[in-house]
Every structure is written in structure tokens, then in C-alpha cells.
Amino acid sequence: MSVRQVAYRNARLIDPDSGFDGPGEVLTRGRLIADFGADIFSGGIAEGTEIVDCGGQILCPGLVDMHVFTGEPGAEHKETLESVTACAAAGGITTLITLPNTQPVIDDVSLVEFVKRRARSRGIVTVHPMAAATQGLRGEAMTEIGLMRQAGAVAFTDGRKAIASAVLMRRLLSYASRFDALIVQHVEEPSLAQNGCVNEGEISTRLGLAGIPDVAEAMILERDLLLAELTGARYHAAQLSSARSVDIMRRAKRQGLPVSCGVSAAHLALNEFDIGSYRTFLKLSPPLRREEDRAALVGGVADGTIDVIVSAHDPQDQDSKRLPFAQAASGAVGLETLLAIALEPYHNGYTDLLTVLRALTVAPARLLGLDGGRIACGAPADLTLFDPGRPWVVRPKALHSKSKNTPFEDRRVQGIVSRTVVGGETVFEREESQNA
Amino acid sequence: MTRDGTTPPFKFPHRHLLGIKELSADEIGGLLDLADSYVALNRRIDKKQDLLRGRTQINLFFESSTRTQSSFELAGKRLGADVVNMSVSTSAIKKGETLIDTAMTLNAMHPDLLVVRHADSGAVELLSQKMDCPVINAGDGSNEHPTQALLDALTIRRRRGQLAGLLVAICGDILHSRVARSNIYLLNAMGARVRVVAPPTLQPAFAERLGVELFHDMREGLRDVDIVMMLRLQQERMHGAFVPSLREYFHFNGLDYDKLSLAKPDALIMHPGPMNRGVEIDSEVADDIDRSVIREQVEMGVAVRSAVLDLLSRHLPNNAETP
């Protein structure tokens, strides 16, 4: 037998797409899932098949993270396409989507191809690039959406920057709809967010920092949803941060608009007061907001208003973070803590496991038109094996990222990835004694 | 032949030619018949007629034009009119005269025929309200360009015998195109089926209300069509505002042999000019003598404009035909 076969036995199999959750087994052949079910090996296992005993842990589709910044090209000292895939594998992520905010900006067919080629040759998980929606992220002229879509860009966004011009957003949505390309927006009105670095409220007053009001997010979200309605195009708000936005999105979905949204794991777990005494590792964009906002975001995940949970992995080195709060770069690494942090609302009883896993697998895969994120015959053999209850402590030094800017330093979390499989190959396996 | 003073075989009650919208199928058909008779005249060695002798025709172009203006000029001169070309550059407009004042001024000069092009939709109609002579719309904003639609129709009719039943795809910048609008009205009036093929950013809102089928994908839009009408993409629309780039536009919306292969094998290719080779049309396709009728369109232009001048001048006072 030349094609590699692996049998995963003794697992709790969860497929959020079909809603299956129960004892099960999976057989992979080559790069694809060949069979799965409660008891597929009763007739014996073919000779030469590798057997993996899952030890009763959860085996689910590999996680898909649709919001990952890398340093390559341009800032390889912060993260390379190689190192980012190593973090992803350790976090149970089998497919990651890179953002175009690099140097140079990914706004051209050749650069889309560069990212894909580089990730394929150096990386250990699947990487799909998002390309810039506007040339040079300048927010003035649209990019070659059609050609870059054909070259493999899965969505179009200006990443950290909002597409501020209403007429440009309208034309982008309209133009992209011809290619069924997804436009992803950083929902923040730039003129209201100017110089802001924390939520506008008690925290901005106490710390004496310029604040960003939650309406900065709400108004651009409302505007974009109206434009999505006008154009009939698909639209995705990358990260919501406030209760107000969750309500707006809930209404839009009830109206039947083809729109979706995400939230970062950090925004589900932290609020503005965690910033404490100017801890720049908690300077995020959008900013962490009030506890009521955090709770509303969890509620949004629980009732399906929020479609996807992302890491918003944004590696920043000491030089960019050891600065006065206002001058420090925004962003936090998050690939390796994504699963454990996303599981917190489940452990705390606010939502069920299937809902959390759906937002980490099949939901982002569907939005981006990817084949993965589900356990089905013929689907890619991308799998994550994890122990949902096992406790561990986040230690920055143990992270695989070249940058250690985690907002979860020393946090006690539950749920750890023990094996990550991409295209039938195990790309990460945790030693029994190894923590994180 | 109606040039030699016989009554036209159809009624043409319009004093001006402002658009195709206002014309009935019979009027369009009659106009095309008359234009057909002028094709031969324009091919003769001696092209000079005296139908419009003593008449003054003013070509008032607020927007620059080469082919439309020279086509009207030739048509007028060959019919014997004295033709004056007035190109109103933007700087002259900035002197502050309003359109109405310009009309009053011109009217005082007693022209017999006025041909007008203006960058604003509806401007020609506004001007016509103040003029005592027939006004011909040579293109107003994104509204209409009736003589272009008529010359396109004449070209098709001479090649295909009739317009009824044909499937025509109009491709490109529909949003800003007066040519597209006039052609849609004309083709619909004459019983052809019209498809509009454009990226969503270049399709006007509710375009289906004009009685056309909408397509975004050019390959689908060209399937089994009899006629492919390409439109010019203006330079200023090419670089990111409406479409990302020339190469992307050509890749998805430019007419090449690959996309053309989906149309009927004998489908005709048309373009109102001036062409952007390599943007909306492949050079080879544009020059394909078996398929492209682009140069023929220019020839028909003079004939159509002769017919229009002829027809409208019949309403002038002191005309032999005026009772």
C-alpha cells in the first residue's frame, strides 16, 4: 500500500457541520478523510494502516483561523510564514488566513502567489492569503479583485485599516459580488478613532488616554450593512467589540442580509480593566471594552449572531510594545491560546461546545469557500485532537511565535491540543508531560 | 428616393431629434430607409447636393469630438448647408454664460439647424426649448446619442436584413454610456432582444427596467448572441474607481476570440469608437474583416446624419415642402 492510511480510534468525534458528537473513529487516506463513524473498523483494519489511539479525547475538524497577521514579507523578525504555521499547528489550527498588512502590501497577483508559495514550501499548515481591498491599503482605488481571487486570495480587506469612504465601499462590494469575493471590514470610523487607544469610558478617563467610543464601530457597521443591502453583496465585519454592534448585527441577520462577523478570542475573555496599569500587551484594535460588552459578545457567539472566532494573531516585538501606551503598537499573539480561550464560555456554561467549535471550523471555512472545517468523506484530512478539560498555564516563553506579546500571561486555562493533522500528516504532537 | 422632393412615406412629427426614446418603430424604420438612400450618395464622386442650400447649420460642441462632429459637418456640407463648427472649450464656459444665454445668443444668429453635444444629461433638451430651429442631439451626458444608435441600427440592418429577432449584447461601461441607452431604446423598439454585460460597478441601478437582460460574466452574456456591441471605457474610470486596472478589465470584460467563441459563429462586432485596443477589445478582433463592422459604422454615420438633417429641415419655414 503506497498511499498512507491512518486510523484514529477511541475518540469523541465532533463534527460541528453535521452536529455529530459521540464516540467515533476516522480513517484518512492520503490527504483526505476516507471514512468516519461510530464503528468503522469492526471488519478489521487494512494492513499497513497506522493506528492512533485518541484516548477518548475530542477529535474535530482542524481549526480555521481567518484573521492572522504575519511579519512576512517585511517584518520577518516579528513572525515569518514558517513560524506562524508552527504556532498554528501547536494551537490546533490547520488552516490560517493571512492579512495583507505587510511590507509590501499584498495587493497584487504576484504577491498573493508569493505568500502561497512561501507558505507551501516552508509552512506546516495550510495558508490562504487575504488580499488588500484597496491599492497599497490607501483606501483610494480598488485592487485587482478578480485576478487575485483567481490566484487564490480568499477574501479582500484593508486589515487593520477601515475602508472609510462610503462610495469606495459601495463599489468594492458591488464589484466583488461579480466574483463572489468576500469583503472584510475593520469596523471602525477612522475620524472618530483618531489617536484613540482604549475604549472611551471610565478607563480612558482614569488612565488619561484618548478613547475610541463604541459608536465609532456601530456607525460604520450600520453604514456597511446598508451598503450590503443596496448591493446585495456579501460582507464580513472582521471583529466586533461592543454590545451595540452585536445588536446591530443580530438585526441585520434577522433581515436576511448575506452578512457575517467575527470576534477575537481575547475580546471574549478580557475587558478594559484588564489593561490595568498601561499594559501594552492588552492594547488591541478594536479596543477591549466594558464587561457588559464582553458578555454581549459571548452572547453573540452563543446565539449564532457572531459567526466566527478568530485569534487576531498579531505578533509585535519588544520595540513595538515597550513604549508609552499611546505609542505602542496594537495587537496580541493568539494562535496558541485560541482554542483554550474560546472554550472558556463553554466551561463557564454560557454556550455549548458545538457552537464554539462551529465558529472555529466550518463557519469560517464556509465564508471563505474552503473545503475544510468538517468531517466528511472526501474532505481534507485536517483534524485537531484535544483534551477539553485539561488545565494549563499560559507561559509566554513556551509559545512558538517569534513574538511573545500575549495578553494571557500566566492565565489559567482549560483545553489543550494534543495532536494536529494537516492533509493526513501529523504536524504537531504534544508530549504527555509537556504543557504549553 | 425622398431627397428629390417627394413626401416621405412615413410621418415624422418631431421638430427636434433629442433621443430615440421619443421615436416610434415606424419613425425609426422610415429614418433608416431614408439613411439607406444616402449611403450611395456618399460613395459617389460628386457628393454635393443643394437640398440645404442657403441654410446655416451650427455644430455646437461643449464636449470635444472628432468623428461625430466631422460626420455632421460632412453630412451638412454634402447637402449644401453652410456649416459652422463651434467648440465651446471649458474655459469659455467658465466665462460664466449660462446654457440658456448661449441658446439665446445663438438663436439671434438665425441658424437653421443646430447640432449639440453637451456633457450634461438633458442639456440639449433644455437648449432646444429656447431655439427656433431644429436641434439635433449629438450626445448629452449619459442620456442619449440618437444618431449613434441609428447608425448602429443601419449597419446591422444592411448586414442582417432586419433588427427584429436578433440577440444583441451591449458590453462595457453601461452606467456612463449614452450610446448604450439609445441603443437599448432603439433595439427594443425594433423587436431585438438586448443583453447588457458589465461588471456590477458599471451597471446602472435597476437597469432591468429598461427591458434588458443583465449579465456580469461576459462569457455567459455573449452566449449565442448575433451582435456584440462594445463600449468605450473612459480613462478616468479605469484605475480603481470603477474597475481595478486595465489588465483586469481586459481579462474579464475585454472582447477577445476566446469570449467571442461563445457568440454565434457569424456574430458581428461593433464599437462606437474611439477604441481602446487591449482594454475593451483585442486588436485582432477589432481588425477582423469577417466579423468587425467598426469602419462600416463610421460610413453609416454620415448617411444617418444626412437623413436626419434632411428630415428635420423639412419642417423649416420657406421650405418648398412646407405648405
pLDDT tens per residue across span A375-431: 999 999 999 999 999 999 999 999 999 999 999 999 999 999 999 999 999 999 998
CA B121 to CA B181: how far, in whole Å?
12
Measured between CB atoms, which of A142, A147, A177 is closest to B240? A142
Name the burial class of residue B268, with classes exposed (0-12), middle (13-18) and buried (19+) by CB atoms within 10 angstroms of its CB: buried
Contacts of B94 (CB under 8 A, 6+ apart): none
Interface of A with B in 135-154 (CB under 8 A): 135, 140-147
CA A356 to CA A250: how far, in whole Å?
18
* Contact yes or no for A426/A124 (Cβ under 8 A): no
Predicted local confidence at residue B285, as pLDDT: 95
Cell numbers at residue B34, please?
Answer: 431614408
CA B263 to CA B260: how far, in whole Å?
5
Measured between CB atoms, which of B216, B244, B251 is closest to A142? B244
Computed over every residue of chain A, the mean pLDDT equals 96
From B197's Cα to the closest Cα of chain A, the distance in A is 12
Q: What are phi and psi of A294, to 5 degrees?
A: -55, -45
Report CB contact under 8 Å: A144, B247: yes
Backbone Cα Rg of chain A = 21
From B278's Cα to the closest Cα of chain A, the distance in A is 16
Mean pLDDT (whole number) for A295-307: 98
- Which candidate, B78, B79, B59, B77, places its Cα nearest to that of B69? B59
For B262-284, write each residue's pLDDT tens digit: 999 999 999 998 999 999 999 99
From B238's Cα to the closest Cα of chain A, the distance in A is 10
Predicted local confidence at residue B234, as pLDDT: 82
Predicted local confidence at residue B239, as pLDDT: 75
CA A397 to CA A394: how far, in whole Å?
9
Q: Which residues of chain B have pLDDT under 50?
A: 1-2, 5, 321-323
Report CB contact under 8 Å: B244, A145: yes
User: Which amino acid appears at position A122 of this protein?
Assistant: R
Residue entry with cell 452572547: A299
Mean pLDDT (whole number) for A210-232: 97
Find, in chain B, the residue whose alpha carbon is nearest to that of A138.
B240
Residue B55: helix, strand or coil by DSSP?
Answer: coil
Tell me which H or E stretch contains A13.
strand A5-15
DSSP A18-71: TTEEEEEEEEEETTEEEEEESSS-TT---TT-EEEE-TT-EEEEPEEEEEE---
Predicted local confidence at residue A118, as pLDDT: 96
Whether pTM exceeds 0.90: yes
Q: Is A285 on the interface with B (CB under 8 A)?
A: no
CA B158 to CA B163: how far, in whole Å?
10
* Contact yes or no for B310/B17 (Cβ under 8 A): no
CA B301 to CA B70: how far, in whole Å?
10
Q: Is A23 on the interface with B (CB under 8 A)?
A: no
pLDDT band at A432 (very low <50, low <70, confident <90, very high): low
Predicted local confidence at residue B97, as pLDDT: 80
Predicted local confidence at residue B236, as pLDDT: 72
Predicted local confidence at residue B64, as pLDDT: 86
Q: In whole angstroms, how far apart are CA A85 and each of A124, A193, A338, A427, B227?
A: 6, 32, 14, 10, 52
From B59's Cα to the closest Cα of chain A, the distance in A is 37
Residue A31 has pLDDT above 50, yes or no: yes
| Residue % of chain A over a pLDDT of 70 | 99
CA A29 to CA A14: how far, in whole Å?
20
CA A90 to CA A358: how far, in whole Å?
20
Report CB contact under 8 Å: A141, B201: no
For A155-169, write each residue's pLDDT tens digit: 999 999 999 999 999
* Contact yes or no for A374/A61 (Cβ under 8 A): yes
Predicted local confidence at residue B87, as pLDDT: 82
In eight-state DSSP terms, residue A313 is B
Residue A211 has pLDDT above 80, yes or no: yes
Contacts of A374 (CB under 8 A, 6+ apart): A15, A16, A17, A18, A61, A361, A362, A365
Residue entry with cell 480598488: A142
Partners of A178 on chain B (C-beta within 8 Å) are: 199-200, 216-217, 252
* Four-CA torsion A275, A278, A279, A280, nearest 10 degrees: 110
pLDDT band at A346 (very low <50, low <70, confident <90, very high): very high
Predicted local confidence at residue B205, as pLDDT: 92
Say if strands A155-157 and A211-212 run parallel, antiparallel, or are unpaired: unpaired
Cell numbers at residue B5, please?
Answer: 422632393
Cell numbers at residue A19, please?
Answer: 452536529
Measured between CB atoms, which of A144, A174, A177 is closest to B244? A144
- Which candidate, B319, B306, B320, places its Cα nearest to that of B133? B319
Say if strands A412-422 and A425-429 run parallel, antiparallel, or are unpaired: antiparallel
Q: Is A171 on the interface with B (CB under 8 A)?
A: yes
Residue A198: helix, strand or coil by DSSP?
Answer: strand
Contacts of A90 (CB under 8 A, 6+ apart): A335, A336, A400, A417, A420, A428, A430, A436
Predicted local confidence at residue B8, as pLDDT: 57
